[in-house]
Chain A
Amino acid sequence: MLSRVAERIYWLGRYMERMENTARLINVNSNLLLDLPKGTHIGWTTLIDILGCHEEFANKDIKNEELGIIRFLLSDAGSPVSILFSLRSARENARTTREIIPTEAWELINDTYLYAKENASKSASRGGRTRFLKYIAERSQQFTGLLAGAMSHTSAYEFIRLGRNLERTDMTTRIIDVGSVNLITNNHAGAKPEGTKEDSLEPFINILWMSVLQSLSAYQMYRQHVQDRVNGEDVVMFTLQNADFPRSVASCLAQLVVCLNKLPSAEAALRSVAAAQRRVNAADIADILESSKLHDFIDTVQMDIASIHQDIAATWFLPVTMESA
């Protein structure tokens, strides 16, 4: 398989996953805000925090916060975090690797893109949003299923899965991170200042942690696994360390190992995944939360993710010569 193709197909996997994650995130936040009283400091800017796109967003002149942010995340072609941007990038990568992926997969991506281009900007309203986002998430899942059933499980398939799982790890850590900033500082160690009534999230902590789980489609699985009321420590443990839930960081990392083991000369990438695994699995969550170090901890995991990507790129994507091969 060509290095260039490996790179494009890896990004195809990442962008399809990113598209789904963004759709899911907007949907959960929409539902959450309906449950929260007006004036809480949790709002739409949380999504800008999660996706880490302050700079891009700051340049926008936006009157209505909700519609402005939704449009930025849904249909703004210039916004690198928008669903339309991910989808267009996925399509460009698919278009240049059409000979590798099953024809149906290309048609699926192309069709989704044409639909989104037509409907994304119309779907910013509360009414239209849900249906559009559900459609987007379903198309990504359909893509995953189609490949699982119709694409030979050779290197090309592994590169798509690498992209998907690394993107998923990245998004899960972002969601936990924002959960920690929004919730834990409010909840833990009585950091809530007295008398700031409109800022009190106390009665809603439960709902907020539930929304973190829902952003990851993890609520139901969490309940089956934890069987206690939803609480911060268990949510962080579940989403970081649970070995069985496919969107937990530990599980995504384990998937990366499976993919990497099927690829040639994967040693460097395997080593950096192992380092990330050690860090995540060995973490004492209770202690980290007690000392308010979750944000710093997530930062180091994010750096691990970045170095896994760098090792993948250095091993397979950069030009090789006879000497280095």
Chain B
Amino acid sequence: MHVNWKNYNPGEFYDELISSPGHPRKVARPLAKYLSSLSGNELQERKASAELAIKTMGITFTVYSEGENIDREWPFDIIPRIIPEKEWRRTEKGLIQRLTALNCFIDDVYNEQKIFKDKAMPMELLRKSKNFRKQCVGMKPAFGAWAHICGTDLIKDKDGQFYVLEDNLRVPSGVSYMLENRVVTKRVFPELFENYNIMPITEYPTQLFDTLAAISPRPVDYPEVVVLTPGIYNSAYFEHSYLAQRMGAELVEGGDLVVESDDCVYMRTINGLSRVDVIYRRIDDLFLDPEVFNSESVLGVPGLMRAWLKGNVALANAPGAGVADDKVVYTYVPKMIKYYLDEEPILPNVPSYLCMDKSQCDYVVKNLDKLVVKPANESGGYGMLMGPQASKKERDEFAKRIKADPRNYMAQPLISLSTAPILTPNGVEPRHIDLRPFILQGKDHYVTAGGLTRVALVKGSYVVNSSQGGGSKDTWIVAEGS
């Protein structure tokens, strides 16, 4: 069906491309014009060619318990999301500021604990944190960087401003899809790249490699950097393999690594054992080392923590970095920025209520029908309550859980996520989206130009996770007037 923007109505929501029916935003005008110049058939052909490219390139994500067919093609919408460069520059600064403060915080937690001693944050937070690792106390990773790779989820409310929804500091994924989305868009709409000045994103793997190489404990010219994957059945296996390939690093599984009596890490190669300097691990803390954490784990490497604590190998992200990836700790990030950096936060948090605070907890329980409640340590959208959409029974059930373990819950008003047009069989329709940029910190900082835009493909839905029916879009940072 031919695109007619006059029939496209984002309603009460902030739409990234179209401000009101028939009126594209300035930066989206060439795109909107181009799309409406194509016939319905042409559009469907482009869509089909994108799907074919995704199939042939083998861009997949893995779904659990599907029997034999474990990898699925990546759901993708061909209409890019556009962000003006000026807006992005400011956002980028805010993201760097945020990650810098978070790393100061993690380093402080495992060393002096000043922020608690100065009463800027309650010590109780730490005692009940599921991601605090006592084994890491006293550790001083290079450059004070614990979270080297961070995926921060940004959303826009009706006011069109970016808010930080959460910081993923453990093993954030999605960056390979961001990169592949661009490749697919270039194949599908090459014409558009002539009219737009779009910031390239291809350098991410190089930047990631440089970040990792810089934290090598051995002062060698070519440190051995490896990507540690749980294996082919992990939902992000595609990404692990992709990043290893683009960085020219070995993709290893736990069984490929061994810690020898000198407390150094080696990989088993056709030439015998070979020393490993930096491990970009895509395995959760608790599976890293069966000697220290989960003794049942066959994914990890016995002795790995010993090697890390002795400074013989660098781990990215560092074990224990997840202490700051906690929805309750999240609410303190603006305070951290002031405390460690003495700066005003550039990017605001979504207003939040902490259930560990008695009066806030009462408010949450009384207003469950207006709030989104999240457990502190889940990811992927699991274990949360979407109050406005939940039944009375579900809300009552959740209220009990909150009262039983208030430290584990926080609540936020339902943010009306912004929308962007997607191509459906009935033409273009608005769908809710978010944005996950990736930020690197080691010797230097780096932020991806844009990030991964995730789309809730189901009409009216707010759930953008690929494991729960979400898709994605290419994201363009575009200089205005170009």
A 1-23 to B, binary, CB cutoff 8 A, 1 in contact else 0: 11111100000000000000000
Interface residue ranges of B236-278 to A (CB < 8 Å): 241-242, 244-245, 249-253, 255-256, 258, 260-261, 266-273
Given A95-B232, A99-B241; A2-B256 close (CB under 8 Å): yes
Query: A316's contact among B57, B255, B270, by CB below 8 Å, is which?
Result: B270
Query: A2's contact among B241, B245, B269, by CB below 8 Å, is which?
Result: B269
B 26-65 to A, binary, CB cutoff 8 A, 1 in contact else 0: 0000000000000000000000000000011110000000
Contact call A99/B272, Cβ cutoff below 8 A: no
Contact call A98/B242, Cβ cutoff below 8 A: yes
Q: Which residue of A lies closest to B246 (CB)?
A: A99
Chain B contacts for A322, CB-based, 8 A: 260-261, 266, 273
Query: A3's contact among B232, B244, B269, by CB below 8 Å, is which?
Result: B269
Contact call A2/B268, Cβ cutoff below 8 A: yes
Query: B272's contact among A4, A103, A320, by CB below 8 Å, is which?
Result: A320
Contact call B270/A96, Cβ cutoff below 8 A: no
Min Cβ gap B409→A in Å is 40
Min Cβ gap B25→A in Å is 36
Contact call B270/A264, Cβ cutoff below 8 A: yes
Contact call B56/A99, Cβ cutoff below 8 A: no
Cα distance A316–B269 in the bound complex, in angstroms: 8
User: A325 at interface (Cβ–Cβ under 8 A)?
Assistant: yes
User: A321 at interface (Cβ–Cβ under 8 A)?
Assistant: yes
Other than the given A2-B250, A321-B273, A325-B273, 4 more pairs (CB < 8 A) read: A1-B269, A3-B256, A99-B241, A155-B270
Interface residue ranges of A211-250 to B (CB < 8 Å): none
Chain B contacts for A99, CB-based, 8 A: 241, 244-245, 249-251
Min Cβ gap B247→A in Å is 9
Q: Could you name 21 residue pairs across A and B whose Cβ atoms are closer than 8 Å?
A: A1-B271, A2-B252, A2-B256, A2-B270, A3-B256, A3-B270, A6-B270, A92-B232, A95-B71, A96-B232, A98-B242, A99-B251, A103-B57, A103-B245, A107-B58, A110-B57, A110-B58, A155-B270, A265-B271, A319-B255, A322-B260
Given A4-B253, A99-B241, A111-B56; A319-B270 close (CB under 8 Å): no
Q: Which residue of B lies closest to A91 (CB)?
A: B58
- How many of chain B's residues touch chain A, expressed as a range? 20 to 34
Q: Which residue of A lies closest to B227 (CB)?
A: A99
Chain B contacts for A148, CB-based, 8 A: none
Chain A contacts for B56, CB-based, 8 A: 107, 110-111, 114
Min Cβ gap B244→A in Å is 4
Cα distance A110–B261 in the bound complex, in angstroms: 42
Cα distance A316–B272 in the bound complex, in angstroms: 9
Interface residue ranges of A301-325 to B (CB < 8 Å): 316, 319-322, 325
Contact call A321/B258, Cβ cutoff below 8 A: yes
The 9 nearest A-B residue pairs measured at CB: A325-B272, A99-B245, A99-B244, A316-B270, A110-B58, A98-B241, A3-B268, A99-B251, A264-B271
Chain A contacts for B269, CB-based, 8 A: 1-3
Chain A contacts for B260, CB-based, 8 A: 322
Contact call A320/B273, Cβ cutoff below 8 A: yes
Chain A contacts for B271, CB-based, 8 A: 1, 264-265
User: A85 at interface (Cβ–Cβ under 8 A)?
Assistant: no
User: A263 at interface (Cβ–Cβ under 8 A)?
Assistant: yes
Contact call B255/A4, Cβ cutoff below 8 A: yes
Cα distance A96–B56 in the bound complex, in angstroms: 16
Cα distance A103–B53 in the bound complex, in angstroms: 13
Given A2-B267, A99-B245, A319-B268; A107-B273 close (CB under 8 Å): no
Cα distance A159–B273 in the bound complex, in angstroms: 19
Chain A contacts for B244, CB-based, 8 A: 99
Interface residue ranges of A85-110 to B (CB < 8 Å): 92, 95-96, 98-100, 103, 106-107, 110
Chain B contacts for A96, CB-based, 8 A: 232, 241
Min Cβ gap A112→B in Å is 10
Cα distance A5–B256 in the bound complex, in angstroms: 10
Cα distance A96–B58 in the bound complex, in angstroms: 12
Cα distance A325–B269 in the bound complex, in angstroms: 10
Cα distance A96–B245 in the bound complex, in angstroms: 11
Cα distance A78–B95 in the bound complex, in angstroms: 52
A 109-125 to B, binary, CB cutoff 8 A, 1 in contact else 0: 01100100000000000
Contact call B256/A1, Cβ cutoff below 8 A: no
Q: Which of A99, A106, A107, A155 has the most CB of B within 10 A?
A: A99
Chain B contacts for A4, CB-based, 8 A: 253, 255-256, 268
Min Cβ gap B352→A in Å is 40
Cα distance A6–B268 in the bound complex, in angstroms: 11
Contact call A320/B268, Cβ cutoff below 8 A: yes
Q: Which residue of B lies closest to A113 (CB)?
A: B58
Min Cβ gap B69→A in Å is 11
Q: Which residue of B lies closest to A77 (CB)?
A: B68
Contact call A1/B270, Cβ cutoff below 8 A: yes
Q: Which residue of B lies closest to A4 (CB)?
A: B256
Contact call A95/B58, Cβ cutoff below 8 A: yes
Cα distance A173–B244 in the bound complex, in angstroms: 40
Min Cβ gap A270→B in Å is 15
Min Cβ gap A3→B in Å is 5
Given A4-B253, A98-B242; A263-B270 close (CB under 8 Å): yes
Cα distance A2–B232 in the bound complex, in angstroms: 16
Cα distance A321–B258 in the bound complex, in angstroms: 8
